[in-house]
Amino acid sequence: MALEFGATTLIVYVDVDGRVKDTRIELGSGYVALDEAAEHCIMEQGRFVPQTSDSAPVGSWQRMKFTWRLDSPARSDAADSLLSAYRKGDYARLAKLLVPYARDGAIDAQVMLARMYLHGTGVNADVGEAATWMRKAAEQGSTVAEYESGVFSEEGIGGPKDYAAAANWLRKAAHQRHADAAFNLALMYQSGLGVERDPAMALLWIEAAIGFLALPSADAVRPGYASTRDSIRAGMSPDQIDAASHSTSPDGPVIRGYVRNRAAIDKAARAAYPAHLGEHSGVRTVALLVFVLSDGHVGDSRVETSRGLPKLAAATVQVLSQADILPKKIGGQSVDAWQIVTWTWALH
């Protein structure tokens, strides 16, 4: 029998064609990889019946829940041991059980170990170990770990303060719609901490942060975000505010790219699959920053997250260079703009 292993509740925006255009994690499963898998799955494969108004389809936010189960007896047994230690409050045993998974690259185990070392739960408190494990998870593309690594760098947890590194980690998390990361990044652009002071970029990121807040669970922090936005706007002229609204930059907020020729890219991905990935297996997602031209063609791309596998990142760049991506629109007109595009590989 399969073991229930947590649930992820998402809020998704369904457009008039029934396609998912945006997602927010309202309630996580407690396992980073499962939550991210839910988002990727629903973005890439989700199709829904749109809501209607006066008999016409309209875009709307909808809520859905993923319940995760483990069908493998071996994996179920391992999960059962971890959950048993957690429920009994035997955190010392839990830490020992997590170590081999963390060393093998399990993101959730790395994040959990980092937090245990940070707070001295089941282990001796060690901020250096906390920072090391959190960074390992961030380097694999965990949005939560990217944000936490940004905070660690900004506050000097586990090492000297490094505002430039903080901005880099926060930007990666913000590109994956992490509201707090976008908020902190806006403050850095407002003050010039770790980045060149740029009120326009600060405004773009604070407005993005407000948009990233999951509904309705973030109502408590929304007024504070709005107050920060108002203070940034107060120091800008109307022309500066208008110019910011038309700005597109790989360092600023980016929309998620929708690949229109999915079948062709799937075929290209199978042909480009790296033949020698050693002992790596499982599912790995590579995120690219892609400069999408107004006609949907790819003009340039940068690797945002490679999951620590350079060959896989190179293959993703090669494959997505052939993609036809829905262009961004400003004022109803298609424009050249940077977008974040993810591609998930099943390694074997």
Domain residue extents for the chain: 3-70, 73-155, 180-245, 255-347
Supply the CATH classification number for the domain 255-347: 3.30.1150.10
pLDDT at 339: 93
Whether the predicted model's global pTM rises above the 0.75 cut: yes
Phi, psi (rounded to 5 degrees) for 294: -60, -20
Q: Where are the beta strands (DSSP E) in the chain?
A: 3-14, 20-27, 51-53, 56-58, 60-70, 255-256, 282-292, 298-305, 328-330, 333-335, 337-347
pLDDT at 255: 86
pLDDT at 37: 67
Q: Quick check: do 73-155 and 255-347 share a fold?
A: no
Domain 73-155 has CATH 1.20.140.160: no
Q: Per-10-residue mean pLDDT for the chain, 348 residues long?
A: 56 78 69 66 69 72 67 54 78 88 83 92 95 92 90 96 97 90 96 95 94 72 92 93 87 89 89 76 81 95 83 92 91 90 78
**What is the rounded CA–CA span in Å between residue 75 and residue 80?**
8
pLDDT at 67: 67
Asked if 132 and 116 count as a contact pair (C-beta separation under 8 A), the reply is no
Count of other CB atoms within 10 angstroms of residue 262 = 13
Order the strands of the 20-27 sheet from edge to edge: 20-27, 3-14, 60-70
**What is the rounded CA–CA span in Å between residue 127 and residue 118?**
5
- Tell me the helices (H) and strands (E) count for the chain, helix number first: 13, 11
pLDDT at 279: 63
